Amino acid sequence: MEEIQAKPVNPYLVAFSMMLPTFFAMVATSGTNVCLPYIAGYYGATPYEANAVITSYMVSNGVMLPMTGWLLRTFGKVKVINACIITFMIGSFFCIIAPNLLLLIISRLIQGVGGGALMPLSQSIILEAFPPEKRGTAMGLFGFAVILSPLIGPLLGGFLTENYSWQWVFIVNLPFCLISILLVKFFIKEKFQAPKNKTNFDIVGFLAILLWFGSMQVVLDKGEQFNWFDETWVCWLAGFSLFAMIFFFVWELEYKNPFVNIRVLKNTNLLFGTMIGVVVNVMLFSSILLVPKFVQGLLGYNAYLSGLSVFPRVISCAIMLPIVGKLADIVDNRILIAIGLTILGSTTFMFSNMTLETSLECVQFINLLFGFGIAFTFIPMSAMCFATLSKRKTPDGAGLHSLFKCACTAIATSISTAFIMRVSQVHQTYLTHNVGVTDLEFYTRLMMLKAKFMTYFAPYVAGQKANALIYRQLLKQAQLSAFYDAFLVLSLVAFIALPLILFLKNKKK
């Protein structure tokens, strides 16, 4: 393939042209989190069924991520970017008019196909536009799209849902997609020539990743509903997904013309940088899912206030991203990553100390600190991943880097939801030992509540209402304990990832 660049364009204009569509593709990942109850109510669906609206987008994203390098080599970046934006726009339009939940999920799959390749495309094109010594600055700009977008998503989704309807979460994508097409036309320049030795599309590899992610999505969506591995078909499908994953990697390693070069993972920085990236992504998206659930489910806030609770992350990230981008050009990036992971682990531990009396301001303050950890980790980690990788291999590296982050995030999102439900049941079992009539404290409280209800109801009805109120409090305490455990696990994951920094190497001057 020969790619002849036209007249050089200001790299900041190139970065903005790629950041805008990537921003809205990433907003689509988290923007639906806070409006899931409204979508479920609109279609008369269960929370398990509505959760597929999130995972279907992530899965179709994952299928497209490793194809980025092959698409660039075969069609050129301008055609690929335009095709992605148009596909994303078509998917958004069908999400707006979907008459039932099944068609909404299919529309999200289409939307994900368009949005999937935009993130590695952006990363690759922005890295190429800036000189090697400015890679920290380049990743700082890229971070504005990739980090701020999922943080703004819950607030934007909550505001639009509360003031208009959940369909507006998808309506806002349409005008910005049209603007993005114009920006690409004016600022992304190339004279693409198709490769002389054309290679056939790796259909076997594509089918393998399609089956891998497709079967994985069904397991993640339906697992909790059917009690996970208690069902035979869930076991078989999970095994099939694992087999398809192994087959995909083996095939891509052995096939002569794979659409993704798996061997780039031999690069130490890319391999261990991706592992750290997976940890950061899991913590980011799991907390974006868990904090709104906590705020809405236990503190009783609406969708807008739920989104507002995580908004301070945007403020701290917006302040720190350009600063860390400059620091990454002059300071050892491994030090910055260590600082970031330590902040992430510490602030996630602070989440585990929240109670039913926690104020919205307290949740916002913790999220403000969490944003500092994201900024300190993301930019130097992205720069280190590709520091020792040649430009020719950057698209393949970016695709695989995003693939692993997407797959692990989809799994973590599903596990987080299941973890809260399962562990809350465990805590509920333990707490019921303290609500027997032989327990003096419980009996005293029950009689006090019964006496209050007897002011308005008959003794028998008052006793029922007193029991129901205590049981409701018990369920809330059980859920609170489950959130406590979930945040502790995430905090532990951040600290466990710290030793991986030792395997990263600085590029020799």
What was the pLDDT predicted at 5?
45
Residue 17 CB partners (closer than 8 Å, separation 6+): 180, 183, 184, 186, 187, 188
Q: Residue 309 in contact with residue 364, Cβ under 8 Å?
A: yes
Q: Chunk the chain into consecutive blocks of 10 residues (it has 509) and report each block's average pLDDT, rounded to whole numbers.
A: 51 77 76 78 77 77 73 77 87 87 86 79 75 68 72 77 83 85 77 59 80 81 74 86 87 77 79 86 82 80 76 82 78 85 89 82 87 84 76 72 78 80 81 68 74 76 76 80 88 88 71
CA-derived radius of gyration, the chain: 24
Question: Pick from 413, 321, 403, 310: which is nearest to 365 by CA?
Answer: 310
pLDDT at 195: 57
Tokens at 17, concatenated? 């042209």
- What is the per-residue pLDDT for 4? 42
Question: Among all chains, which residue has been given the structure tokens 């939940």?
Answer: 101
Look at residue 507 in the predicted model and tell me its pLDDT: 64
For residue 191, the 8-state DSSP code is E
Burial group, residue 63, by CB count within 10 angstroms (0-12, 13-18, 19+): buried
**Domains of the chain, earliest start first:** 2-201+259-425+482-503 (1.20.1250.20), 204-258 (no CATH), 426-481 (no CATH)
Claim: this prediction has a pTM higher than 0.85: no
Q: Where do runs of H (alpha helix) occur along 164-267? A: 168-171, 173-187, 203-222, 232-254
CB atoms within 10 A of CB 441: 9
Whether the Cβ atoms of residue 222 and residue 234 lie closer than 8 Å to each other: yes
119, 57 Cβ separation under 8 angstroms: no
- Residues 188 and 162: their CA atoms lie apart, in Å, by 38
Task: Quote the pLDDT of residue 72.
Answer: 75
- Which residue's entry shows tokens 């994203």? 61
Residue 412: per-residue pLDDT: 82
Please answer whether residues 92 and 170 qualify as being in contact, where contact means their C-beta atoms are separated by less than 8 angstroms.
Answer: yes
Residue 298 has a pLDDT of 79
Using DSSP, state whether 350 is helix, strand or coil: helix
Residues 225, 46 contacting (CB under 8 angstroms): yes
Q: What is the pLDDT of residue 9?
A: 66
**C-alpha closest to that of 147 among 29, 323, 56:** 29
Compute the distance between CA of residue 176 and CA of residue 155 in angstroms, rounded to an integer: 18
**pLDDT attached to residue 178:** 86
Write the CA distances from 124 to 50, 117, 391, 393, integer angstroms.
Answer: 34, 11, 8, 10
Give every CB contact of residue 156 below 8 A, 6+ residues apart in sequence: 27, 31, 169, 172, 307
pLDDT of residue 2: 42
pLDDT score for 509: 45
